[in-house]
Structure 1
Amino acid sequence: MSCFMNDDDPFPADECLFADTFSQESIYQLMGQELKITQLFGANLGVAAPVWESAIQLCRYFEKQRVEWRGRRVIELGAGTGVVGIVAARLGAVVTLTDLPATLPSLEANVRANAPAGGWPSAPPRVLPLSWGEDHAEFPSDWDLVVGADTVYLPETYPRLVDTLVHLCQKKAAVYLSSKMRNEHQTPSFFEEHLPRRFHVQLVDRDHSQNINIYRASLRKGR
């Protein structure tokens, strides 16, 4: 069976993606690491199944910035296939990968498939469920980095995402969010209206050809 996915649409457009569960394995070279990522398509995963280009762009941005990962505490929101967090863990970060419960089995499988032959430099990534605006208080607030790729596409989740970020950033974590700027999903409004109410927000990178922006945010004092 041949299926097609349109990367410009946050929801798989071809009905065959939901007819049966099927997988696709891809190799990525990111930040000097080779990742083998399985994308498991099916009705339960939806937008969490593919590797979105915004995740690739975020990894490339971090590589250009020569980010030092070893020992840094990193949490990824809406991790999906786990690309960003897994690369960070392979480079020595202490990583927690989060997403909705249905996504976790495939996320855990990708973590296992990408364990370095000599073991994880700091610790194996933790994989935990996190529903924005509901159970974020169960997580600590002392992260160094909070990252997310293509997490901004459902307007009804925007206030809950901001609330979650506020909790996670109480100890001055830096937030990096990479997103395709979809006007039809009001993505610009999140970065121009919702997030700035609680955070200082800076556009740090833009890929015009992919219409992908990367933002850095830090919690406003006294908020």
Structure 2
Amino acid sequence: MATREDDEDDINPVTMILPDDQDDEKLFSTRQEGAPVEQLDQQHYVRSIDSTVVIRQLPSQGISFQLWPAATSLVNLLDHHRRDPTNSPLSSTLIGHRRPLNILELGSGTGLVGIAAAATLGANVTLTDLPHVIPNLQFNADANASVLTLNGGAVHVAPLSWGEADDVELIGRDFDLVLASDVVYHDHLYDPLLETLRLFLLDRQNDKGGGKVFVMAHLRRWKKESVFFKRARKLFQVEVLHVDNPCNGARVGVTVYRFAGKSQNLNA
């Protein structure tokens, strides 16, 4: 019997951006008039704040410059949480924290998730990715400055290479929550990503959890991804917060996970 772990379907990220239940008049993709062919604007309407987040994509520049399906799923959960926090899959993670929240996003790509988190939660969000991605991240943060200001959110942009302790020290560790979407993709980055999560989430002296959590939206594609989750469970308690229904012919939907530090390091 096929399970979520057995699914090996390749998913086209471009064709899965728009959920089936969204209003086409308020959520759509367009090319800017007079812009290069490779530049695409995604307009994502967020109902809870009655605002539109505009994201520039540069598909010809690589996968970090495109919107992926898990990003939309996580934004929809943030939108739901703003509208109905007591019935939100994110309630156990977000309710009870200080305000404003300090949030870190890993592998931000175009920045949609972090920008939406800042706007819906009135949070201070730091978007991070590799140095060559930073200019487009900053562009998208600036493009949504008015939406952020209106809703009490703020976005900062910083380079961060996974597995690099020096990068973590430069950014600092004063975050209440770490977010990411569709970051489990290249298998050679599994260990660097886990090391970065360890540095941000776990106590530096004994690798015990310090109350910080990582929320990750992920669309399963290949069997090899089970390696990442097996390694992750040696360091973290991993639970499923939410699973989307499959769409656009996929056999599985986006899954949202919550990672929290264990009481002790089980890596031995």
- Return the TM-score normalized by structure 1: 0.82
Q: Are the equivalent residues in 2 in contact too, given 1:143–1:169 (CA < 8 A)? A: no
- What SS is found at the alignment partner of 2:78? helix
- What SS is found at the alignment partner of 1:54? helix
Counterpart of 2:130 in structure 1 is 100
Q: Are the equivalent residues in 2 in contact too, given 1:86–1:125 (CA < 8 A)? A: yes
In the alignment, structure 1 residue 48 sits paired with structure 2 residue 64: yes
How far is 1:102 from its partner?
Answer: 0.8
Letter in 1 for 2:11: D
- What SS is found at the alignment partner of 2:154? coil
Write 1 or 2 for the structure with the bigger share of strand. 1
Change beyond 3 A, Cα 1:164–1:117? closer
* Structure (1 or 2) with the larger CA radius of gyration: 2
- What SS is found at the alignment partner of 1:178? strand
1:90 aligned residue (119, 126, 142): 119
1:200 aligned residue (215, 224, 237): 237
In the alignment, structure 1 residue 144 sits paired with structure 2 residue 176: yes
- What SS is found at the alignment partner of 1:201? strand
- What SS is found at the alignment partner of 1:97? strand
Ranges in structure 2 where 5+ consecutive residues have no aligned partner: 1-9, 15-35, 86-93, 203-209
Q: Are the equivalent residues in 2 in contact too, given 1:38–1:110 (CA < 8 A)? A: yes
Deviations 1:111-156 (A, max 9, x none): 0010126836556311000000013343322311100000001111
Letter in 2 for 1:107: L
Change beyond 3 A, Cα 1:122–1:169? farther
Letter in 2 for 1:190: F
Letter in 1 for 2:217: S
Deviations 1:167-223 (A, max 9, x none): 111342111011110115x223322x0211110000111124143111001011233
Deviations 1:78-137 (A, max 9, x none): 001101110122231011000001111111000001012683655631100000001334
Between 148-157 and 117-126, the greater mean CA deviation after superposition: 117-126
For the residues of structure 2 that align with 1:27 and 1:10, how far apart are their CA atoms? 16
Counterpart of 1:167 in structure 2 is 199
Q: How many residues align?
A: 206
Deviations 1:37-61 (A, max 9, x none): 1111224xx1111111101101222
In the alignment, structure 1 residue 58 sits paired with structure 2 residue 41: no
Q: Are the equivalent residues in 2 in contact too, given 1:89–1:120 (CA < 8 A)? A: no
Counterpart of 1:35 in structure 2 is 53
Alignment of 1:99-138 (within 5 A): 99-116=129-146, 119=149, 122=152, 124-134=154-164, 135-138=167-170
1:80 aligned residue (109, 117, 121): 109
Letter in 2 for 1:219: G
Q: Are the equivalent residues in 2 in contact too, given 1:177–1:216 (CA < 8 A)? A: yes
For the residues of structure 2 that align with 1:189 and 1:208, how far apart are their CA atoms? 24
RMSD (Å), alpha carbons: 2.5
Higher relative contact order (CA 8 A, sep 6+): 2
Q: Are the equivalent residues in 2 in contact too, given 1:10–1:153 (CA < 8 A)? A: no
Alignment of 1:179-194 (within 5 A): 179-183=218-222, 186-191=224-229, 193-194=230-231
For the residues of structure 1 that align with 2:147 and 2:113, how far apart are their CA atoms? 19
For the residues of structure 1 that align with 2:238 and 2:181, how far apart are their CA atoms? 16
Change beyond 3 A, Cα 1:10–1:215? same
